[in-house]
Amino acid sequence: MIELISTFIFLFAVIDPIGSVPVFIAVTNGLTEKEKRVTAFKAVLVSYGVLQFFIIAGELILDAIEVPLPAFQIAGGIVLFLFALTMIFGDSKPDEEIKSVKDPTEIAIYPMAMPSIASPGAMLAVVLLTKNSEFSIFEQVQSSLVMISVLVIVLILLLLSTKVHKLIGSAGASIISRVMGLILTAVAADNIIVGVKESFGLIM
């Protein structure tokens, strides 16, 4: 149970559902309520497809190019750490991704599905949470289900985006995004430490 909770917190932090709300509101401005609902469903569905692909094929791709998982874990931890620092010190997630909006007709895929929901950090996270060498098939299925539960939360928040935004405001979303970034720095540091230990055979 504790591992499921920690997995949920990790994925919730890296996907950052609340941080996606201001982005969704900004890029769907002017759309009808029906169009907003369709956009929300499409964005979450595409995000699920992308993340599920990395769960299934991520480690296989690494094996095919002969990159050992410890090396990927170290590199991924560094990338995740830098990603988390941008959440803490850089532009907030909403500000950064709203700037990237160009074509409103493609907002369900970009920037909503990628990089807002299925961010590079989220792709990395699902690969690390479903390593064949460390987790059983049952545990990997559990991680997939936890990921789906987080995406369901994303969908609910997007469908209720106007009410959520009124409740917490842009400042609130920015604060939450930075707190999630702080959590991710700790997770990233742990990934780097574990990767180094595995590379040098220091894990008992």
Q: Is the pLDDT of residue 107 over 60?
A: yes
Backbone angles phi, psi at 161, to 5 degrees: -55, -45
pLDDT of residue 178: 83
Q: Which fold has domain 2-199?
A: Growth Hormone; Chain: A; (1.20.1250)
Nearest-5° angle of CA 131, CA 134, CA 138? Answer: 80
Q: Read off the pLDDT of residues 31-47 as tens digits, 9 standing for 90 and up.
A: 888 888 999 999 999 99
| pLDDT(1) > 80 | no
**Considering only CA atoms, which of 185, 51, 65 is closest in space to residue 130?**
51
Res 103 pLDDT > 80: no
Report the percent of the chain where pLDDT is more than 70.
90
Domains of the chain, by residue range, sit at 2-199
Instruction: Round to whole Å and give the CA distance between 8 and 3.
Output: 8
Q: At residue 187, does pLDDT exceed 90?
A: no
Mean pLDDT of the chain: 83
Q: What is the mean pLDDT of residues 123-147?
A: 87
Residue 177 clears pLDDT 80, i.e. is over it: no
Tokens encoding 39 = 């956009």
- pLDDT tens column, 71-85: 877 887 888 788 778
Q: How far apart are CA 114 and CA 44, in angstroms?
A: 10
**CA 176 → CA 21, 26, 183, 196, 199, distances in Å?**
12, 18, 11, 31, 35
| Residue 29 burial (C-beta neighbours within 10 Å; 0-12, 13-18, 19+) | exposed
